[in-house]
Amino acid sequence: MANCIIAQSGGPTSVINASVVGLVKANKEHKLYDKVFGGINGIEGILSEHLIDLTNVSEEELETFKFTPSSGLGSCRYKLKSYETDEEEYKKLIAICNKNDIKSFFYIGGNDSMDTIAKLSEYGKSNNIDINFIGIPKTIDNDLPITDHTPGYGSAAKFIATSVLETYLDSCVYTNNGIFILETMGRDTGWLAAAATAARMNDKPVADFIYLPEHPFEVKSFLKDVSERFKENNQVYIVVSEGIKNKEGGFISELTPAQSHDNFGHSQLGGVAGVLKSFIIEAGITKRVKTLELGVLQRCAMHCSSKVDIQEAYEAGYFALLNSSPENNGNMVAIKREANAPYTSSSFLTEAKNIANHVKYMPESWINLEGNNVTEDAYNYVMPLISNSPELVLENNLPKFKVYNK
Question: What values do phi and psi take at 279, rounded to 5?
Answer: -60, -45
Q: Pick the catalytic residue: 141, 143, 188, 208? A: 141
Mapped onto helix, strand or coil, the DSSP state of residue 144 is coil
Please state, in angstroms and rounded to a whole number, the distance separating the CA atoms of residues 241 and 88. 40
> Where would I find the beta strands (DSSP E) of 188-232?
200-201, 204-205, 209-211
Per-residue DSSP letters for 237-304?
Answer: EEEEETT-B-TTS-BSS---TTTSB-TT--B----HHHHHHHHHHHTTS-S-EEEEE-GGGGGT-GGG
- How far is Cα 283 from Cα 227, in angstroms, rounded to an integer? 9
Is residue 340 within 8 A of residue 384, CB to CB? The reply is yes
Asked if 250 and 220 touch (Cβ cutoff 8 Å), the reply is no
**Residues 360, 335: contact at Cβ < 8 Å?**
no
Question: Under DSSP, is residue 330 helix (H, G, I), strand (E, B) or coil?
Answer: coil
Pair 165, 199: CB distance under 8 Å: yes
Q: Are 177 and 208 in contact (CB under 8 A)?
A: no
Q: Percentage helix, strand, coil, to 5, in the chain?
A: 40, 20, 40
* CA contacts within 13 A on the Cβ side of 308: 23
For residues 83 and 93, the answer to whether their CB atoms sit within 8 Å is no
Active site (annotated) includes residue 141: yes
DSSP for 19-71, written as a single string: HHHHHHHHHHHH---SEEEEETTHHHHHTTT-EEE-TT--HHHHHHHHT--S-
Q: Which active-site residues does the annotation give?
A: 141
